[in-house]
Structure 1
Amino acid sequence: MAIAEPDLSARPIHCVVERRMACAPHAIFLAWAQQFDRWFAAPGTVLMTPKVDAPFFFETRHGEQRHPHYGRFLRLMPDRLVEVTWLTGAGGTEGAETVVTVDIAPNGSGALVRLTHSGFPNEASMRRHDEAWRAVLEHQENVLSSGT
């Protein structure tokens, strides 16, 4: 059975964020495919199996406010690529099913990460995510580099 790709044709707005990281491609792949609670999600909230078409759920928390994230894996290429659908509520994707593609390329002893987030419902949502992804990738590198 073919994977049902989200139809983003009515929502062509996207952002692209690149970051050179000192982390190995394998560590970055694992962080995206099965270790969200290590660097991004609130502890104990991750339901995730790195398998194409498998759903996932996790929460982030800012103070007392919780932000649920839902999606499913579209493509997985070990140490090279993770692609997921990404759905959040108000202040996030506003209920739109978007697609996050994380391309990981070896770069010396580290990696070049190119994150593309596609299918935003509006420019404001895209701008918020563009800014957030820059901070998130910096945080991911800091956590992965520290070994915690």
Structure 2
Amino acid sequence: MTEAFIVQREIQIAAPPATVFAFLTDPQKIISWMGLEAATEPHPGGLYFLKGLGSDRTRAARGAFREVVPVHRLAYSFGWEDSEEVPPGSSLIEIDLIDKDSGTLLRMTHSGLPNAAQCAAHDKGWAHYVNRLSLAAAGKDPGPDRGVTGNG
């Protein structure tokens, strides 16, 4: 039986789903909490691009949106340019936004990672960035992003 390498995160955010959704799809809002440059085309088949993650600020991630249900759900492929282990489009990120307790419950699953080391590295990255997203979407300044080492 093949072991699944999956990262899961859940966090309550003090902002409505529409606000959180914007922070996940609008390039200007994305870079307030993750990366230095972003480009998105939030429709099935559309581009997902992010540059400036981790300790190597020149590193870029690329994928394509697979599912976009405004203010409720996103699914997009994901991978790192110049990576043999996690190349662009090789993994899948699914995010559900649930209206709960006067805010949003974000549930994220990152599947398709190739091994335990990549799973651990991406888990560390998601812990960092989901907390930064929570702050930014709630109208707080997450501060400068110092990045996370060891992703992909």
Q: TM-score, normalised by structure 2?
A: 0.79
Structure 1 pair 34–14 and aligned structure 2 pair: CA distance change class (3 A): same
Q: CA deviation at 1:89?
A: 4.8
Query: Which of 106, 110, 119 is equivalent to 1:117?
Result: 110
Q: CA deviation at 1:70?
A: 0.1
Q: TM-score, normalised by structure 1?
A: 0.81
Which residue matches 1:22? Answer: 14
Structure 1 pair 92–128 and aligned structure 2 pair: CA distance change class (3 A): farther
3-state SS of paired residue (1:38) = coil
Which residue matches 2:131? Answer: 138
Q: Comparing both structures, which one devotes a greater share of its residues to strand?
A: 1
Deviation sequence 1:59-97 (CA, Å, 0-9, x none):
024566322010110001111101100111578963261
Q: CA deviation at 1:98?
A: 0.3
Question: CA separation in 2, counterparts of 1:90 and 1:115?
Answer: 25
Question: CA separation in 1, counterparts of 2:106 and 2:31?
Answer: 20
Structure 1 pair 41–65 and aligned structure 2 pair: CA distance change class (3 A): closer
Structure 1 pair 59–71 and aligned structure 2 pair: CA distance change class (3 A): same
One-letter amino acid of the counterpart of residue 39, structure 1: W
Larger displacement relative to structure 2 (83-92 or 107-116): 83-92
Number of residue pairs aligned between Structure 1 and Structure 2: 137
Question: CA separation in 1, counterparts of 2:130 and 2:105?
Answer: 11
Which residue matches 1:5? Answer: none
Deviation sequence 1:8-36 (CA, Å, 0-9, x none):
xx883212111111121111111112232
Question: CA separation in 2, counterparts of 1:128 and 1:90?
Answer: 17
Which residue matches 1:3? Answer: none
3-state SS of paired residue (1:133) = helix
Contact 2:14 2:137 survives alignment (8 Å): no
Contact 2:48 2:76 survives alignment (8 Å): no
Work out the percentage of aligned pairs sharing the same amino acid: 18
Question: CA separation in 2, counterparts of 1:125 and 1:104?
Answer: 25
CA RMSD of aligned residues (A): 2.4
Deviation sequence 1:49-68 (CA, Å, 0-9, x none):
11111122220245663220
Contact 1:98 1:120 survives alignment (8 Å): yes
